[in-house]
Amino acid sequence: MKVTAENKFGKKSQVRLETEFRDGKAILSDVYFTAPFKVMQPFYLRPDHMQVMVLSASAGIMEGDDQEFFLHIKEDTCMDYLSQSYEKIHKMKKGMARRHTRIVVEPGAYLRYAPLPTIPFRDSAFENSLDIELKDKTSRLLFQEILTCGRAARGEAFAYRFYHNRVSVSREGDLIYFDNARYEPERFQMDGMGMYEGFTHLLNLVFFNIEKTESWIGEARSFLDEREDVEGGVTRIAGGDAAVRILGRNADTLLKISEQIQAIGNL
């Protein structure tokens, strides 16, 4: 779909990050960004593992925004990719916004991709795509995303025009995961059967090339079964990786549940 509104930044907004292991430490060897983005200096969990946060001078995603991200995680480096705050997609008159993210994880590298939840406001329209390339079976990725229904307290539950989210993951050149979701509240009963089924928030959590035994899957399922405030499941996808999908009613709750599920394993 063509963007019908002008990008107020005059050109595509970009963020490019590249890591490198140098002198016993993971570093950002290449950083490039344009308005409204900035990249903070990394925080270190250990010498080879850093946390990188992308900041935005904008109040959120606006009509006409066109964004491009590229993350290149090189050999023997570990990085947590974090966001500054919840992602707000603001009301749009008739146009839309879009973002494309490309991620490459080299052999022996690890990326924890965990931006904060997304909040689509009334009448917003957003197209989001991620293309992720895992070079081999030692390229590890923990992928997390949380989509809310909107500002429910303001009567904006599922009041956006559309939210299109496409995630593609390949390993050694072969497609191993593809999720193509298009939510259009005017066409679908978003809280009905086969959709959110009375819930308002969705968490996707996938472990790629991170060993998850059948015992771990059993523990994660038992953990979810004991909770009355969410509905979720754990499955092993075709490539052997583990995926968790949970419906809930509160973003903070889903963030905590995600942390607890991750803690069951040894990352």
Looking at residue 156, what is its pLDDT?
Answer: 95
Eight-state DSSP code of residue 40: P
CA distance 126 to 100: 11
pLDDT band at residue 1 under the 50/70/90 scheme: very low
pLDDT exceeding 90 applies to what percent of the chain? 94
Looking at residue 267, what is its pLDDT?
Answer: 46
Whether the CB-CB separation of 251 and 208 falls below 8 Å is answered with no
Whether the CB-CB separation of 43 and 73 falls below 8 Å is answered with no
pLDDT band at residue 266 under the 50/70/90 scheme: low
* Per-residue pLDDT tens digits for 78-111: 999 999 999 999 999 999 999 999 999 999 999 9
pLDDT over threshold 80, residue 42 = yes
pLDDT over threshold 60, residue 43 = yes
pLDDT over threshold 80, residue 4 = no
DSSP code string of 158-207: T-SSEEEEEEEEEETTEEEEEEEEEE-TTTS-TTSTTTTTT--EEEEEEE
Between 3-7, 49-53, 95-99, 105-109, the lowest mean confidence (pLDDT) is in 3-7
Looking at residue 11, what is its pLDDT?
Answer: 79
Average pLDDT for 171-198? 94
208: nearest Cα among 169, 167, 162: 169
CA distance 253 to 229: 9
258: nearest Cα among 218, 230, 228: 230
Average pLDDT for 68-80? 98
Whether the CB-CB separation of 162 and 94 falls below 8 Å is answered with no
Whether the CB-CB separation of 111 and 79 falls below 8 Å is answered with yes
Residue type, 1: M
Between 145-149, 196-200, 263-267, the lowest mean confidence (pLDDT) is in 263-267
Average pLDDT for 149-154? 94
Average pLDDT for 116-129? 98
pLDDT exceeding 70 applies to what percent of the chain? 95
pLDDT over threshold 70, residue 7 = no
pLDDT over threshold 60, residue 9 = no
Q: Is 217 helix (H, G, I), strand (E, B) or coil?
A: helix
Looking at residue 194, what is its pLDDT?
Answer: 86
* Per-residue pLDDT tens digits for 219-229: 999 999 999 99
Question: Any alpha helices (H) in the chain, and if so which ranges?
Answer: 214-225, 251-264
Question: Could you tell me which residue, 41 or 4, shows the higher pLDDT?
Answer: 41
Model pTM? 0.94
How many residues can be counted in the chain? 267
- The partner residues of 129 in beta bridges, in order of sequence, read 100, 166
CA dihedral 102, 211, 81, 182 (to 10 degrees): 50
- Count the Cβ atoms, other than its own, within 10 Å of residue 68: 15
Judge residue 70's burial from the number of C-beta atoms within 10 Å of its C-beta, 0-12 exposed, 13-18 middle, 19 or more buried: middle
pLDDT over threshold 60, residue 202 = yes
Burial 115-142 (b: 16+ CB within 10 A, else e): bbbbbbbbebbbbbebebbbbeeebbbb
CA atoms within 13 A on the CB side of 30: 9
| Strand pairing class (125-134; 162-171) | parallel
